Structure 1
Amino acid sequence: MTSGEIRAPGGNAMDLTSGPIARTLLIFALPALGSNVLQSVNGSINAVWIGQLVGETGLAATANANLVMFMMFALIFGFGMASTIIIGQCAGRGDLAGMRQGVGTGVTLFFVLGLVATLVGWLTAPQLLHLLGTPDDVFPQALIYLRVMYLGLPTSLLTVFFAMAMRGAGDSLTPMLLMLPGMFIDIALNPLLILGWGPIPAMGIKGAAMATLIANFVSFVVMVAVIYARDLPVRLRGPEWRYLVPRRDLVGIIVGKGIPMGLQMVVMSVSALVMLGLVNREGTDTVAAYGAINQLWTYIQMPAMAIGMAASAMAAQNIGAGKWDRIDRIAVAGVLVNLALTGSMVVLTLLFDHRLLTLFLADHADAIMIAEHIGLLASWAFILMGVTMVLSSITRANGATMVPLVIMVLAYIPGRLGSIYLLNDSIGADAIWWSFPIGGALSLLLTFAYYWQGSWRNIRLLATVEEAEEFVQSEGEPTGRILPNG
């Protein structure tokens, strides 16, 4: 196989470096959007099982445990995004060996991180839950749930990595399809293990965690089996197994670029916690309203997340192929598709907000009225955030990670939180809701300025094909290394 033969037989990989940009972007983004929807549906159904079969304390326990898991995933997820950039650029330039070296290094790194996170998480779980202020009546169940979830981290992280790697190689459909077996198993096992059946004892909240643990392991096994059965580009065979020995230069890129990207998710998480604390001061009805509108916002954000992922993968491949003339067109197409999809979601949500909110708030008229008010003031901010996501995803596709992190910190701290402080005396609780569009507008302006200024285009993340080959042959020459930059 030559270096240019990226697509293996039976794969669903798309050529992201040629053809109509907007159409290709949309087709590539739709399966990613489907993956986001499936994850949310799976989480919602499991929450219903736990709420109905375990009770309020069980639901509160999973909420606390999941927040801890999300914070841990946040940092590690950045490493996956960095690996995807490497794989995407190698795929774009037709460097199959380089792409598989990225896969091998990523697999080893994620497996080791998973083992370390499992050990550290198991030992520190009580302290983390106390740090979150987990109520005493919720703490025992939250600890059980969290520790069982930690056991599945190594395979869960590898599953996420392989899905991201396939998307980087141009295949967003296969990862979506491979989610289905694990999703069905998770949904089916939850009531069975919570309540027990026949020789299976009733395990309560531990059963809910075990269901997810088993489902994630099955997903990993199925994913690896399909990768090898269909001979997908992200597989390793024969002499390629040596790629599992991490290359120092690739580890440098993954860690150096992954930490800032992971920190962006941490900033978002911390900001969400601070916002929740501010909302908690407004009373029970406002807290319930905020929780309900957040359920709707979860789905509003999905198109932007999918389009951002697609734009990043598409940009990475075109950068790898040296087709810089297509990058601005990818940005324009991504912005327009985001405006259409996210804008439509916002409009539909506002038109039918009362009926949708009733699903979560039943007949709590005061809370529904507050939630409608929050949605009217803040929901359209996600259109701005979607445009920002597209532009920042494209700059990250060339390894620009520090400036987007700084922009996010500025948008969330002086932007969002600062606006609440300045406006609180004059408009009260509305300052919280107005902070969403204010922070979104600041983030968009700064991101657009950085994109337009163009210094991110000068970053040289990956070496050329010739330099990469020289590295493989010499294993020590500086010219053969894939160097981090910026």
Structure 2
Amino acid sequence: MAKLLNRIYGIGRLLPKTGALGEVPSTGQAYRELLRIALPSVLEMVLLSLIGSIDTMMVGTIGASAIAAVGLVGQPRMLMLCIFFAMNIGVTAVVARRKGEERQDEANQTLRNAVVIILALSLVMMTIGLTFSRQLMTMAGAKADTIDDAETYFRILTYFLPVNALSMGLCAALRGVGDTRTTMYVNICSNLVNVVFNYLLINGVGFFPKLGTKGAALATAIGFTVGMCLALYSVFRKDGNTYLRLSFKEDWRLKKDTVKAITKVGGNAMLEQIALRIGFFLYARIVAELGTLAFAAHQIGMQFLNLSFTFGDGIGVAGTSLVGQMLGKKRPDLAQMYGKIAQRIAMTTAIILATLILTFRYPLVSLFVSQQSVINTTATIMLILALFQPFQTSAVVVGGALRGAGDTRYVAKVMLICVAIIRPVLSFTAVTVITRFFTPLTTQVAHSSASWLNVIDYWTNQIPVFALMGAWSASLIDMIVRMRSMLHRFNSGKWHNIKL
């Protein structure tokens, strides 16, 4: 058993075939270093996911229209944040590389330039969002009973877009140097403040007014502000040991080489973000056509998918940071080793998650809904979700390692092909074939034999369930192709020599 574990997890098997380029840490040291960065990040993301669910439940106390209004804000807001998500990938990669190169001054220069760019872009996006808030909510599908609440919620969050974007950018830089503990504190505190003020402002407690949806938006804005203040404190404080430090005494002018390095990575990451938004939007629209029961089951399944995703994403943060740092130290062998260690840890986590999902899928689903038909449908797609785990976590972690190396162009191409093309095309094909073939067939059989009516009625009701399984199976194929593509690129070592 010990030999088998050593073959799977021992660093001797994780180094490139060309061998080590210098001193190599022991297996224990290597795993401890990665877990030191990964564990706070995993804890942060899992807790944020859980807090997000609590946030939704609290908004739900107002009524269904409030949930719908808040939900409508999601896609337009994510589109506005796309540019910052992409830029932050660039910031993380460049800062990690500069730390590895032991160029602390340039790492801090990267952070200063990022802050200037983020503030400028966020003011532009804020202006656009406020100017076209009504139109954006209409495009998102707001109806007469939701558009006013949706617009109010959206406008409040848009006013605080610079605050949110700055906090995200600072945390991205901190992750680049491996300081995931600080980002964990920042984001958990921010979200806990959000939950507390949700409680105080949504339905009114004591002298706090009852503001409904507006109160939920203000609570989120207050949480953003607390997060930004904590993030700023972490990089401006003089008594800390943080690698990144900001000071107004330094030069804040934009540097051509620094901006070029950020945009080289971030530009390709922007294409990835666009592909993700398009793919997820099309996929959601396809599934929404299957009816209320199937879509409810899909939404519950997505809650579990997103929660399981956070484990891979948290481990991937450590891979991103260490791969970038090792390349900065001119040690691509260690970069490859840490990338593979992250994948091994992620795969182990995936097996545990898959086992839990398979074993407890019915009681887990029952936490969200009491309607037995929805429970049964969701439990069925949870079987596919269990199969997702090893492919999803590997794709996320290896993709993070490639981003840390600056190989975002390849990652963007894979995401475009898999998420924006393979997933929606296969989902549409599966749903169309199942619904258009089986619906007329069951109708024809029902007309030919009255004695079969109960049986036919049962199978007719199952058609959306089968179609939903087809859509989820299409997502599984997307995930498998994505994982294989990412692993092929990672194992090729072509990312070793990317300059930033």
After TM superposition, the score normalised by the length of structure 2 is 0.84
Shift of 1:271: 1.8
Shift of 1:120: 0.8
Give 1 or 2 for the bigger CA radius of gyration: 2
From 25, 31, 45, the equivalent of 1:22 is: 31
Partner of 1:465: none
Shift of 1:458: 2.6
Q: How does 1:23-38 map to 2 (within 5 A)?
A: 23-38=32-47
- Cα distance in 2 between the residues matched to 1:296 and 1:55: 23
- Cα distance in 1 between the residues matched to 2:227 and 2:343: 33
Q: How does 1:434-449 map to 2 (within 5 A)?
A: 434-449=473-488
Partner of 2:14: none
Distance 1:428 1:203, change over 3 A: closer
From 224, 233, 246, the equivalent of 2:243 is: 233
CA contact (8 A) 1:58 1:205 kept: yes
Q: How does 1:269-308 map to 2 (within 5 A)?
A: 269-308=277-316
CA deviations on 1:126-177 (whole Å, 9 max, x unpaired) are 2222112222211110000000001111111111111111111121111112
Distance 1:18 1:214, change over 3 A: farther
Identity %: 23
1:126 aligns with 2:165: no
- Cα distance in 2 between the residues matched to 1:198 and 1:414: 52
Shift of 1:23: 2.4
After superposing the two structures, state which structure 1 stretch, 85-94 or 130-139, moved more: 130-139
1:166 aligns with 2:174: yes
Shift of 1:288: 0.8
CA deviations on 1:401-438 (whole Å, 9 max, x unpaired) are 11111111111244223333554526744321211221
CA contact (8 A) 2:353 2:386 kept: no
Partner of 2:269: 261
1:369 aligns with 2:393: no
Q: How does 1:41-60 map to 2 (within 5 A)?
A: 41-52=50-61, 54-60=62-68
CA deviations on 1:214-256 (whole Å, 9 max, x unpaired) are 121122123322433343322223642x1x2111222222223
- Cα distance in 1 between the residues matched to 2:56 and 2:339: 37
Partner of 1:451: 490
- Cα distance in 2 between the residues matched to 1:356 and 1:324: 43
Aligned residue pairs total 441
RMSD (Å) for aligned C-alpha atoms: 1.9
1:380 aligns with 2:380: no
Tell me the SS of whatever aligns to 1:347.
helix
Distance 1:23 1:273, change over 3 A: same
After superposing the two structures, state which structure 1 stretch, 210-219 or 386-395, moved more: 386-395
CA deviations on 1:25-66 (whole Å, 9 max, x unpaired) are 1221111111112222322222122111x2111111111112
Partner of 2:453: none
Distance 1:165 1:386, change over 3 A: same
- Cα distance in 1 between the residues matched to 2:91 and 2:472: 36
Partner of 2:364: 356
- Cα distance in 2 between the residues matched to 1:449 and 1:406: 14
CA contact (8 A) 1:288 1:361 kept: no
CA contact (8 A) 2:98 2:106 kept: yes
From 380, 386, 390, the equivalent of 2:397 is: 390
Tell me the SS of whatever aligns to 1:415.
helix
Partner of 1:147: 155
Partner of 1:115: 123
Distance 1:255 1:164, change over 3 A: same
- Cα distance in 2 between the residues matched to 1:228 and 1:423: 54
Structure 1 residue identity aligned to 2:322: M
Tell me the SS of whatever aligns to 2:143.
coil
Structure 2 residue identity aligned to 1:403: Y
CA deviations on 1:445-480 (whole Å, 9 max, x unpaired) are 22222223333223211xxxxxxxxxxxxxxxxxxx
Distance 1:296 1:428, change over 3 A: closer
After superposing the two structures, state which structure 1 stretch, 396-405 or 317-326, moved more: 396-405
Shift of 1:200: 4.1
Distance 1:413 1:106, change over 3 A: closer
Distance 1:428 1:192, change over 3 A: closer
From 196, 204, 224, the equivalent of 1:188 is: 196
Partner of 1:415: 422
Structure 1 residue identity aligned to 2:273: M
CA deviations on 1:166-214 (whole Å, 9 max, x unpaired) are 1111211111122343233211111322233565433221111111111
CA contact (8 A) 2:164 2:228 kept: yes
- Cα distance in 2 between the residues matched to 1:185 and 1:394: 32
Structure 2 residues without counterparts, runs of 5 or longer: 1-23, 435-465
Partner of 1:80: 88
Distance 1:106 1:413, change over 3 A: closer
Tell me the SS of whatever aligns to 1:272.
helix
Tell me the SS of whatever aligns to 2:499.
coil
1:331 aligns with 2:370: no
CA contact (8 A) 1:80 1:161 kept: yes
Structure 2 residue identity aligned to 1:103: L
Partner of 1:317: 325
- Cα distance in 2 between the residues matched to 1:417 and 1:336: 30
- Cα distance in 2 between the residues matched to 1:409 and 1:161: 24
CA contact (8 A) 2:279 2:421 kept: no
